[in-house]
Structure formats: structure tokens, C-alpha cells
């Protein structure tokens, strides 16, 4: 009765999101329920306990459903380390290289990550984003032809070059992790304001997106000095820092030697809604068009492509 049901778990560095889904005969995917938990770096118990604490009610109702995990749970700091598949690669091929094992009598499959070697002989890796790229390809058959630049903002932002449905290469920016560290463990932020300040955000973004020197560490101290001289309130400092870091991230992507950002009709953004909107707004400062996609829909489409 429930043979078309699956459990897909997007288990990243900071968050766990488990999805109970039904894959229709048409190939569409229907979301039945969602559970949330702690990410890989936030765990206080075993990975096995954390997983089954989330999904055990579903298993009791629906039996032995396929369980797919993606993200940092398959990394060297995760539960079991899955392989990296080298670029160029069609994301549809990730289902051929699951790392599968049994936990509490249930089959669990971890999606492999993807690696690339850039022209400076430096390697880059992703885990989790490959599933969202697969979902983006399934969103529209036209995505299998042509050149696209995808931006997947998050703890570690990914900029991904796709040509005719294949991931050619990608670059990682530690934008989200830097924001977390600087807001919690540096002198820059004294009060972590929860309200987003649009004016402060744009001020920070303009400081880096329009910078010619790229003096990141020198300019970064402006988060502190502007507060000292009443140019920036303590409550708006987080928004300023967010704009500063996102502006720096986008500026580096604009200057990347691997692509010409102006050659793309639109930058395809897949991430949390507010963060995606922030990236889109900073891109618009430089008159670069972007399309923001529903990350949950894209993620579910990715899981449906694993069957």
C-alpha cells in the first residue's frame, strides 16, 4: 500500500530536515510530513539515535520504507563516509553509487558527494547540493540543455556551472559559516539583533560588491568601527555584516575565471527563502538578473530522482 513512500533526509552541518514523501506514478512527489532536528556539527547523541528519534513515528505507521540521507551526514564528520564522484558528472548518476547499510533493521542509503578539480589544481567538494541540482534538472526538461550558473547559498555557498545537464565545476564560499562565527565569537557583534535591517544590509553589501581593492580583513573591521562612531546601531550590525559577506561572496563569483557571469540570462538561486532573496537583491545592485527557486520543492524533486 505504501510502496511508493520514501523518507528523504537532508542532513547538513547545522540542520536536519526529514521528509516523508509519496512518489506518484506520474513522477510527481507529494510531501506527507516534515520533521526537523540538529545538524551534524550540533549533535548531542549518536547519529543513529537522532535519525530514528525523527522518523520512528513514520516507520511505525508505514513499515520498512526506503531511507535516503544526503549532506554532511556522509562526510568525514558524519555517520558513514560516502565517496565523492568526480566532475564532470550528470547528477542523475548519483543513485548508482549509494553507500548503503542497515540500522535497526532498516536499509539506509547515503547519497555520494561530488568533487571537482579547478584550474589551479585545487579541489572542491559538495555534499547535499548535488541532490538539489538533480531536483533543479527535474524541474524543467529544458534545463538539460544549455549553460547555467547556479548559486546555492547556505553555510557553505556553492556556485555551480552546468552545461547540458552536467556539473562541470563549482566553487565554495564559506559565507554562512563566517557569519555564524563572526556573530557569536568575535568582537564585531555585541548584540545579535533578530530583526533584519534592510538599509544596513545594503550598506554592507555595497561596501564589498563595489570594492576594487578586495581588502576583506581591513574592511571587515568597519562592522565594529561604525558602531563606535554611531554610524551603525548595535541592533543593525548583524544585517550590515550579512550584506558585507554576501557582497564579498558575489563579487568573488563575478571575478571567477571559470565563467563570465554576464553571459548567463539569469543566475539560478536555490536556498532558504530569506537568504536567497538577499543574494538576489545584491546581484541586482550590479544589474545581474536572478531566479529564486523554492528550495523545499527542489529538494523533494531531488529525492524523487533517487528511485
State residue 25's pLDDT score.
78
User: Mean pLDDT across the stretch 141-155?
Assistant: 96
Range from 138-152, 210-224, 266-280 carrying the lowest mean pLDDT: 210-224
Give 124's strand partners: 116
State residue 119's pLDDT score.
83
φ/ψ (deg, to 5) at 237:
-65, -35
Where are the domain boundaries for CATH 3.30.420.310 in the chain? 173-293
To the nearest 10°, the Cα dihedral for 235, 158, 146, 284? Answer: 20
Grid coordinates of 80: 558513514
Residues 6+ away with beta carbon under 8 Å from 188: 182, 220, 221, 223, 224, 237, 241
- What span, in angstroms and rounded, lies between the C-alpha atoms of 176 and 280? 16
Q: What's the CATH number of domain 173-293, 3.40.718.10, 3.30.420.310, 3.40.50.10600, 3.10.105.10?
A: 3.30.420.310
User: In percent, how much of the chain has pLDDT > 70?
Assistant: 98
What 3-state DSSP class applies to 53?
Answer: helix
Tens of pLDDT, residues 19-56: 999 988 777 789 999 999 999 988 888 999 999 999 99
- What span, in angstroms and rounded, lies between the C-alpha atoms of 305 and 286? 35
Locate all alpha helices (DSSP H) within 157-215, ordered by sequence: 175-185, 198-209
State residue 68's pLDDT score.
97
Tens of pLDDT, residues 199-212: 999 999 999 998 87
Give 290's strand partners: 267
State residue 44's pLDDT score.
85
5-143: in CATH 3.30.420.300: yes
Where are the domain boundaries for CATH 3.30.420.300 in the chain? 5-143
Amino acid at each position: 500500500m505504501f510502496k511508493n513512500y520514501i523518507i528523504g533526509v537532508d542532513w547538513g552541518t547545522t540542520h536536519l530536515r526529514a521528509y516523508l514523501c509519496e512518489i506518484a506514478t506520474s513522477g510527481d512527489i507529494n510531501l506527507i510530513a516534515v520533521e526537523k532536528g540538529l545538524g551534524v556539527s550540533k549533535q548531542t547523541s549518536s547519529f543513529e539515535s537522532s535519525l530514528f528519534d525523527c522518523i520512528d513515528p513514520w516507520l511505525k505507521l508505514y513499515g520498512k520504507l526506503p531511507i535516503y540521507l544526503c549532506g554532511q551526514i556522509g562526510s568525514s564528520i558524519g555517520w558513514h563516509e560516502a565517496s565523492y564522484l568526480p566532475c564532470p558528472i550528470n547528477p542523475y548518476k548519483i543513485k548508482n553509487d549509494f553507500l548503503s547499510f542497515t540500522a535497526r533493521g532498516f536499509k539506509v542509503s547515503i547519497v555520494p558527494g561530488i568533487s571537482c578539480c579547478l584550474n589551479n589544481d585545487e579541489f572542491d567538494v559538495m555534499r547535499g547540493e548535488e541532490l538539489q541540482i538533480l531536483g533543479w534538472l527535474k524541474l524543467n526538461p529544458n534545463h538539460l540543455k544549455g549553460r547555467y550558473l547556479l548559486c546555492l547559498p547556505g553555510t557553505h555557498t556553492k556556485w555551480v556551472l552546468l552545461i547540458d545537464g552536467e556539473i562541470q565545476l563549482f566553487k565554495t564560499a564559506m559565507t554562512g559559516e563566517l557569519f555564524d562565527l563572526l556573530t557569536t565569537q568575535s568582537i564585531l557583534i555585541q548584540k545579535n539583533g533578530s530583526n533584519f535591517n534592510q538599509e544596513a544590509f545594503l550598506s554592507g553589501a555595497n561596501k564589498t560588491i563595489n570594492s576594487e581593492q578586495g581588502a576583506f580583513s581591513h574592511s571587515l573591521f568597519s562592522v565594529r568601527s561604525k558602531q563606535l562612531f554611531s554610524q551603525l546601531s548595535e541592533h543593525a550590525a548583524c544585517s550590515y555584516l550579512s550584506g558585507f559577506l554576501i557582497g564579498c561572496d558575489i563579487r568573488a563569483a563575478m571575478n571567477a575565471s571559470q565563467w563570465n557571469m554576464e553571459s548567463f540570462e539569469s543566475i539560478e538561486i536555490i536556498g532558504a527563502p530569506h537568504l536567497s532573496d538577499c543574494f538576489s537583491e545584491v546581484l541586482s545592485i550590479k544589474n545581474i538578473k536572478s531566479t529564486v527557486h523554492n528550495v523545499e520543492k527542489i529538494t523533494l524533486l531531488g529525492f524523487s530522482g533517487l528511485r
